[in-house]
Amino acid sequence: MNWQANIHKLPALLQGRLKNDLARFQEALEQKNLDTVFKAKTLKTLCLVWGASEFVATNCIRWPSLLLDLQGSGNLFRAYEPNHYVKSLAQQLTNISTETELMVVLRRFRQREMVRIVWRDLAGWASLDEVFRELSQLAEACLNSALACLHYWQSQALGTPYGSISGKPQSMVVLGMGKLGARELNLSSDIDLIFAYPESGETRGAQRTLNNEEYFIRLARRLIRVLDERTEEGFVFRVDMRLRPDGDSGPLVASFNAMENYYQNQGRDWERYAMIKARVVAGDCQAGTRLMAMLRPFSYRRYLDFGAIESLRSMKAMIAQELRRQGIKANIKLGPGGIREVEFIGQSFQLIRGGRESALQERGILRVLTLLAERDHLPYYAKEELCAAYVFLRRVEHRLQAYRDEQTHDLPTSTEGRVRLAFAMGYRDWEAFASALEEHRRRVQEHFEQLFAAPHMDITDQMAQEKRLAEVWLGGELREASLAVLSAAGYRAPEEAVQTLMYLRQSYTVRALSAQARIRLDRLMPLLLGAVGRTEYPEQCLQRVIILLETVAQRTAYLALLAEYPMALSQLVKLCAASPLIARQLTRYPLLLDELLDPRSLYQVLGYDSLAEDLKWSLESIPGDDLEQQMELLRHFCQRQTLRVAAADVTGVLPLMKVGDHLTYLAEVILKKALELSWRHLVHRHGRLQSSTGEQPEESGFAVIGYGKLGGYELGYGSDLDLVFLHNAKPGDPPSEGKKPLDPVVFYSRLGQRLIHILQTSTPSGKLYEVDTRLRPSGVSGLLVSGLDAYRGYQCMQAWTWEHQALVRARFVAGDARLGAAFTAMRQEILGRQRDPIKLRDEVRHMRAKMRNQLDRSQGGWFDLKQGRGGIADIEFIVQYGVLAWAHAHPQLLEYPDNIRILEGFAQAGLLASEESQLLADAYRAYRAAANRLNLQTHEARVEEGQFRQERIAVQQLWSALLEDESAK
């Protein structure tokens, strides 16, 4: 064979050893009298692979038929299907009967497949993902095959273990941790394992009885020996059991109950980190699934756990300290900017958010980073840089380990080693490779430091003011000195601030804090005091923030969030200073603190389509039959989006008219989703209505009509939803198709009740909306859900004028679009009827006077923005009167249900002068803007009597002209 053709492609420093290896290989082939015909692909890559891997060269020389078999079978040139290793190994283990035979087969199998994997990797035929996948599948196949053989042999000799509770045979469960659990095994990785068994009991079927623990400990020891022990054939996989409960001092195998008890009561932070990767890799997979469900709450908290960052930082510091102690500077796994830092970044987000966002409960780091970018937890550019660095570093790791099948992560120091690594990575020399490596590590370290570097909160490292503020909080300053420090920090009434701090410091909540929580609070307070001092009214803001801190202090994760993220603290102070309503909302629902992390998203208010998509995406992580969790998520979603609107509102990012629009969009999106959940519930219990045309609420024959502020796109913070429910069932329609059929009218009534239940029921996260259905026909004495024909008949024959006024601001908002269209046509028909103008004016005036007498709170020098003379209600009544009086001749007035666009319609139709229409619209906006600001400050919608004087006079003049002048038409 002519090997020389490709040798010159190697660096000169590597050519000598390669020539020697090729000569030895030629000699081995001749001694075995083997065919020396090699395929072109083999010859083309042989020098490259052997130059980079002494392991491959040595094994090919030792067993010259190995390479011929790999190329002859075609295995060298293709990726394996998922179950290839299992099938292939099963054939080779068919006739074995002893552990010695098992060990030989496994070791030879492993050597052959490792040569193949390394060859494909170095030749560039396999992606990194393929290498990860096949190495992990190889380990799992060896584990499962060995465990199955050993369990069978041991049960024949010692009996079969049975559970004392279930009475069923027991099998061992093997959890793969670390790289194996994540399906990211490297070329020379240990396999980190944890052994467990379902329940206590004892063996049956043998003369001597063993308890299950003793049985499985023996089985585990045999399994470790079969895999780990070095023989003349080598080893299969090095087994590391140190991640089990209590590490080396703990039992080798534990029952499920013992596992659960350990992690609930003794589990440490680093074990939470490790358990993220845990996966059932061998043994009883069905039982393993139960075990993983038991252990999942240990890793994934139901709340946002920002304390995880502190724990991970401590772990990383310990590793760095150990590396410094050992003098290791060039470790690509544990060193600065190494593999572990990439993993820490991804897994920190998983620990913090994985309990709330189940999609993040992934094991593979590249997938985790991608999900984080998709969910805006990580900038896209950061994800790209981290993924690229991770792939590069793992390829370096594989080339270091491929050389001699050694578990190493240290960059070579010898000239030959550096030349070999640079060559294997595809670089012309060490300098070029080292430059690329350093760039990747620099980027990883930058991202890591941004996330994990301890913020500048250490009191000894702070500016003089922050040091003094810390002393004020800790009570170390004399009262006069504390007052001076707070005054210098911006407090106008420092005595009041001192009292507030004393109250918090002496409160039961603070006194009951754990040592760790108190440390976090002490680190937080100087920064908090400094930030609050820079607000316009510091004492007021401090009171609001302290109330919040009292509420969340027992959940130390929230203290960690504010201490770890200065931006979150800054936004909290800013919003609490701007609005007690926002402060109260954050206090009631601390989960919203998560929203403070990223100002870009906090002040980014979503449109209708984005809201619908976001809600749909969020609900996908919850099982379809878990209504309780769905209701909780709907509330979290509503609170989160409302906070965004309020934050954008108080900071001037969002104009007033857009506030109403966005709050209305939010309510509509939630209404539609709540109706969908209600519909599914009814259909699941009672079957689909035969009169409906499809499986979705949009085809259900049921419609939700929004009245009032919802109908007019004017929802405010905390507004009720005025709703009317309609259906299209006809007498004689058949009942639903399920096992518990319902008459259509009863079905629709229960659908309305279920919808109200989802919207209005108080859960741990509060209510979605208060629902008011009194505008339905006959009010509270009428049916909850009306047939369309009955509704039309009521509106035509029985409805009062005020009910037609309400119909002006009514529109279809959710449900069956065809029924919605029928309602819209009916609304236009009723509102478009010609009315007696004198009677209409009298009835509108009478209703307005009655409402004012009951509701107007204009007194003592204050003007009620809504009910006072010339206020919001007067403008609304003018609009309603105009529609009822003029729509018969101007049907375009019926196109929109909101006041501003109807007023514009009056001007366009010549019914009001443009100046009059504009005056009413401007006054309406000004009143609503003032009411909205007062609402955010949790004040009544009243202003000093002198405010808006010109607007009030103008509105009253128009009211008189339209509704009190008998000549008005």
Contact at 8 Å (CB) between 560 and 520?
Answer: yes
Q: Rg of the chain over CA atoms, in angstroms?
A: 37
What does the H/E/C string look like for 932-966?
A: HHHHHCCCCCEEECCCCHHHHHHHHHHHHHHHHCC
**To which H or E segment does residue 132 belong?**
helix 128-158
Residue 412: predicted pLDDT: 94
Residue 690: predicted pLDDT: 76
Structure tokens at 152: 């069978």
Kindly report the pTM of this predicted structure. 0.66
**To which H or E segment does residue 79 belong?**
none
3-class DSSP assignment, residue 238: coil
Structure tokens at 271: 């074990």
Residues 329, 409: Cα–Cα separation, whole Å: 11
Residues 124, 114: Cα–Cα separation, whole Å: 15
Residues 811, 231: Cα–Cα separation, whole Å: 81
Beta strands in 322-478 (DSSP E): none
| Bridge partners for 399 per DSSP | none
State residue 121 phi and psi, 5-degree precision.
-65, -50
Structure tokens at 787: 């047939």
Residue 266: predicted pLDDT: 85
State residue 38 phi and psi, 5-degree precision.
-115, 145
State residue 82 phi and psi, 5-degree precision.
-55, -35
Residues 906, 68: Cα–Cα separation, whole Å: 90
- Residue 627 sits at the vertex; the CA angle it makes with 623 and 630, to the nearest 5 degrees, is 75
**To which H or E segment does residue 89 belong?**
helix 84-92
CB atoms within 10 A of CB 687: 17
The DSSP-derived string for 301-362 is -SS--THHHHHHHHHHHHHHHHHHHHT---BTTTSTTSHHHHHHHHHHHHHHHTTT-GGG--
**Residue 709 CA: distances (Å) to CA of 659, 720, 757, 769:** 12, 8, 21, 13
Buried b or exposed e, range 811-838, using 16+ CB within 10 angstroms: bbbbbbeebbebbbebbeebbbeebeee
CB atoms within 10 A of CB 155: 19
Alpha carbon distance, N-terminus to C-terminus of the chain: 109
Residues 863, 930: Cα–Cα separation, whole Å: 12
Polymer length of the chain: 969
Residues 360, 377: Cα–Cα separation, whole Å: 11
Q: Mention every residue, 6+ apart, whose C-beta is less than 8 A from residue 147.
A: 172, 174, 219, 223, 282, 283
- Residue 150 sits at the vertex; the CA angle it makes with 144 and 155, to the nearest 5 degrees, is 125
Chain centre to alpha carbon of residue 673: 19
Contact at 8 Å (CB) between 21 and 61?
Answer: yes
Give the chain's domains with CATH numbers. 79-299 (3.30.460.10), 306-350+360-452 (1.20.120.330), 459-593 (1.20.120.1510), 603-831 (3.30.460.10), 837-964 (1.20.120.330)
Contact at 8 Å (CB) between 356 and 379?
Answer: no
The 10s digit of each residue's pLDDT in 725-778 is 999 988 888 888 878 889 999 999 999 999 999 999 998 888 999 999 999 998
| Bridge partners for 240 per DSSP | 192
Counting as low any pLDDT under 70, the low residues of the chain are 1-5, 302-329, 452-466, 476-477, 598-600, 656, 691-695, 965-969
